[in-house]
Structure 1
Amino acid sequence: MALVKVKVWDGWVRAGHWLLAGLIGLSWWSAETGRMELHLTSGYLILSYLLFRLAWGFLGSETARFRQFLRSPLAALGHLGHLFRREPDREIGHNAAGGWMVLALLAVLLAQAGSGLFADDDILTRGPLAGFVSGETSYFLTTLHGWTFNLILALVGLHVAVVLLYALAKRQDLVRPMVTGSKRLPEGSIAPRLAPLWLGLLLACASGGIVWWISTLG
C-alpha cells in the first residue's frame, strides 16, 4: 500500500500538547517545593490554554474540532477491540478512543484549574476567586484541587501507556505526528482543512486576557 505524507495537526494543537505536558510538571514541582507564585502562574497558563483549546475545538482546524473526533462510545469500544491488530494508520486525526481521552483530559484539567481559582490553603496562597464563595465552598474546592491532580496523573499514565502500546502492537507512531504535524497515510487520504494563523492568535489573546482579568479579581 502506497503511503503519502499528509499534514494533519496544526501548530496550535502541537504546541499546546507539549506546553500542557510541561506545565503539568511545573505545577506539580512548584507545589511540592512551595513555590506558590510560580504555581499560580503555571495554573493561569494552563487555564489560558484550556480556554483556547475549547474555542479551537469549535472554530479551529478540522482535526481539532470536537465534532470531527468525538464519536459514539460504541465506536470507541469497537476501536479498542482492534487494539492488538497490526494495521496501517488510516486516521486523519484522533481515533474514536483517542477522542474520548482528549475530552476526559480537558474535563479533568478544567476541574483542576477552575478549582484552583477558589482554593485557599489558609497560610500563604489564595486563589483570586476564593473571596467570592463561602469558606466551606472554598475548602471543598481546595480539596477537589488536590484530588483531581491524582486523576490527571492516572489519565496521563494511561495516555502514555496507550501510545507505547500502539507503537509496539500496531506499529503506529503517534508521537512523531504530534511533533512534525504530518502522518504517512494511505494514498488518496484527504488532508484536513487547517485554520488560519490569525484566528489562533486572536483566540490565544482572548483566552489569555480573560485569565489575566480573573487573576486581578483577588
Structure 2
Amino acid sequence: MQSSQHQLAVWDVFVRVFHWFLLVAVAVSFYTTKTSGAPFLFPVDVHAQAGYIIIGLLVFRTIWGVVGASYARFSTFLYDPKVTAAYAKALLQRRAPHYASHNPLGGWMVVLLLASLGFQAISGLFMSDDIFFQGPLYGLFGREFSREIASLHALNSDLLLILIALHMLGVVVHTLLGEGIVPAMLTGTKRFSSLPVDISASHHGSRKRYALGALLIAAGICGWLWFYPY
C-alpha cells in the first residue's frame, strides 16, 4: 500500500458475480426483443429464460442485501433524502466525499434499477404472445390483467433503458473524478486518495452459509420457472 493511497476490499465475490451475470442476462433479454432469427431459433423463449435468470439473480441479491457482507447490505448504502441531497450538491461542486460502498445517489440508483428489473421480469410471467410463449402465471388473474400488465411491461422497458443510461453516466462521471468503479467490480478492491466516509461500516465476517442458502433459494425459484410445465 502506498502512503498516498488507501486500498479497501469492498465488493465480495457474490456481488461481483451477480453484477456481471445480471449484465449479460439483461443484454440477452433486450437483444431478443429486437431479433427474430439467428442465433436463436425461438428468441421469445430465450427472452423468457433470460427473465427467469434475472428473477433468480434478484432474489439472491435481495437476500444478500439483508444478510450479506457489510458493503453489500442495503442498510450500508441507503441514505435519507437530506444526506442524498447534500451529496448531490457536493458532487456538482466537485467536492463529494468518497464512499467505500455505493454513494448516496448510487445507492438509490441501485434500488431503482433492481425494482425496475424486478417488475420487468415478474410482469413477463403473466404474459403470452398467443403463439409461441405463455408465461407460467399467464391467466392467473384473468386475461384482462395480463393485457394490462403487458402494456406496463412495455412502458417499464423504456424506463429501464433510461435508468441504465443514467447508471452508465454515473460510472463515467465518477471514473473521470478518479474513482475506479469498473476495476473495483472486477477485483473487489477500491483505491482511495483519502479514507471513505463509510469506512466505519461494521464487518460481518464470513457469510458463506448465508450465501449458500440464498443461492439455493434463488436457484430453486429460477429452476421452477425454467422447467414449469406449460
Is the TM-score greater than 0.5? yes
Q: Distance in 2 between matches of 1:142 and 1:124?
A: 16
Q: Distance in 1 between matches of 2:93 and 2:178?
A: 10
User: Match for residue 181 of structure 2?
Assistant: 174
Aligned length: 217
Matches within 5 A, 1:1-218: 2-34=4-36, 35-86=43-94, 90-168=98-176, 170-185=177-192, 186=194, 189=199, 193=203, 195-215=206-226, 216=228, 218=230
Segments of structure 2 that go 5 or more residues without pairing to the other structure are 37-42
Q: Distance in 1 between matches of 2:142 and 2:61?
A: 30
How far apart are residue 190 of structure 1 and its match?
A: 5.4
Greater RCO (Cα-Cα under 8 Å, separation 6 or more): 1
Give the alignment's TM-score, normalised by structure 2.
0.86
Question: What's the CA shift string for 1:173-194, capped at 9, x where partnerless?
Answer: 2211111101113369558625
Partner of 1:82: helix, strand, or coil?
Answer: helix
AA of the residue aligned to 1:212? G
Question: What's the CA shift string for 1:55-111, capped at 9, x where partnerless?
Answer: 111111111111111111221121111224446863120111111001100110111
AA of the residue aligned to 1:106? L
Question: What's the CA shift string for 1:29-79, capped at 9, x where partnerless?
Answer: 122224111111111000000011111111111111111111112211211
Partner of 2:90: helix, strand, or coil?
Answer: coil
Give the alignment's TM-score, normalised by structure 1.
0.91
Q: Percent identity over the alignment?
A: 34
Segments of structure 1 that go 5 or more residues without pairing to the other structure are none
Which has the higher mean CA deviation after the structures are superposed, 78-87 or 100-109? 78-87
Q: Is the 8 A contact 2:127 2:149 kept in 1?
A: yes
AA of the residue aligned to 2:59? L
AA of the residue aligned to 2:215? A
AA of the residue aligned to 2:217? A
Q: What do you get for the CA RMSD once the two structures are aligned?
A: 2.1
Higher helix share: 1
Partner of 2:33: helix, strand, or coil?
Answer: helix
